[in-house]
Amino acid sequence: MYNIQSGIKRRQFPEPVSAATAKCLKNSTGPVKLGMTGIGKHMKAVRGIVIDSLNRVVISTSLDGKVKFWDFNTGIIIHEIDWSTSGAITKARLHRHSDLLAASCDDLCIQVVDIEIYKIRAWGAQGRISDFCFSNDGRWVLGASADRVIRVWDLPTRHIINGIRTKSDVTAMAFSGTGEFLATAHVDSVGINLWTNRTLFRHVPTRHLDEKDIVDMTAPFASGEGGVSAIEAALNPQGDGEDDCTGTYTTVNQLSSNMLTMSLVPRPRWQTLLNLDVIEQRNKPKEAPGTPEKAPFFLPPLGHTAERSRVLRMSRDSGESTFTKLLREAADCNNGDYTVILAHLKALSPSTADLEIRSLQVNELVPFVRAMTQRLRSRRDYELVQTWVNAFLKCHPEAVMSEEDVRDELRKWMVEQKREASRLAELVGYCSRVAGFLSGR
């Protein structure tokens, strides 16, 4: 055993002993006891070395068919399992979370032992084991044998729950840490094949699978289907009588008129509009602003930079905003299309949208509510419509109470709102019940 950083040799299993001690051990006629220094070495080549998760035990396997457990700190052998009747041990794998050790033997089987209680289980194959691995949770042992079959053993039930037969022998395999994929390498293939874990999408029974039920599976090829590579297909502009679909894809605002569509506006924007009064109150300065200090004599006062022409100033201040202009044009139009003004209102910042809603004149309240009703009826921008109407009712409560036309339009909006809310609650409840039924809750 070596230190990775310094490269210094730290320990040997078993620990070397003096010449006199080695001579005594050689001449000893009695049985060799575990726990003695300098004994327990393998008689043939070591084919597997693993260390437990706590750095307490070093486990070694050898072609002599023995599994030896060594103390990490002292180098003394603490336990030994003799599998020499099963032949040589060729590979060893350890699942650290469950402390399970798996080893493949020459008798075409995989032995699994718990390194804490040394309990042994065995699973057999129909050919020499080329490679094997544990699943991420330690519940399965997956093994590939010379008969070109990948078998999955379920440890609790000791059943083969799945098996696939490939066209070529598997040389190496590994299970992903997330439990999603199995990666395999095959003879006469330079690629790595990825297999999806089917239990992530459907229930897989743990009943025993007979050898006759193992299905043949074709691995994916780098050349693609039909022997045509993906690169060649992409570089070939000629199609077999198909239309050229090289145009730019246009995003659809709404897939169906029966679907309730939310806007793509970030949530903080319309939430800020709802809580703008609270934000302004929180950001209000604790002390009144003081009088600014006088500037030096060589700097002109700020008042000189103001507009000197009263005519120009009045003409500039009297101009209506874009929102008001679009709202008036939409109200004068016979078809009553408010799409443009709603798109403009959606693009405004929360403070600007609040200012535009507060600046509405009495004759502009009815077109505004009518625009909200039209948008709600089209089932688009559902959360924005709720936010805008909420801000409207906060800014114009007196006008709503005094103007009969405004109240009539709000009644129409309430009818649409109740109808859409009832439909939405019914759909959400149906989906919730179906999901609960499928999940067994």
Q: How far apart are CA 108 and CA 110, in angstroms?
A: 7
Whether 214 and 164 have beta carbons less than 8 Å apart is answered as yes
Q: Residue 433: CA atoms inside 13 Å, Cβ hemisphere, count?
A: 6
CA-to-CA distance for 16 and 74, rounded, in angstroms? Answer: 11
Measure CA 376 to chain center: 34
Q: What is the pLDDT of residue 345?
A: 86
What amino acid is encoded at 90 in this protein? T
Among 376, 393, 377, which Cα is nearest to 385's?
376
Residue 379 predicted with pLDDT over 70: yes
> Tokens 């998760």 sit at which residue?
53
d(CA 382, CA 245): 34
**85, 30 Cβ separation under 8 angstroms:** no
Look at residue 92 in the predicted model and tell me its pLDDT: 93
Q: Residue 182 — φ and ψ, nearest 5°? A: -120, 125
* 244 has pLDDT over 50: no
pLDDT digits (tens, 9 = 90+) for 189-239: 888 888 888 888 888 888 888 888 888 887 655 554 554 444 454 445 554
| pTM of the complete model | 0.48
Q: How many CB atoms lie within 10 A of CB 387?
A: 21
What are the helix (H) ranges across 67-178?
none
Question: Which helix (DSSP H) or strand (DSSP E) does residue 315 occupy?
Answer: helix 310-317
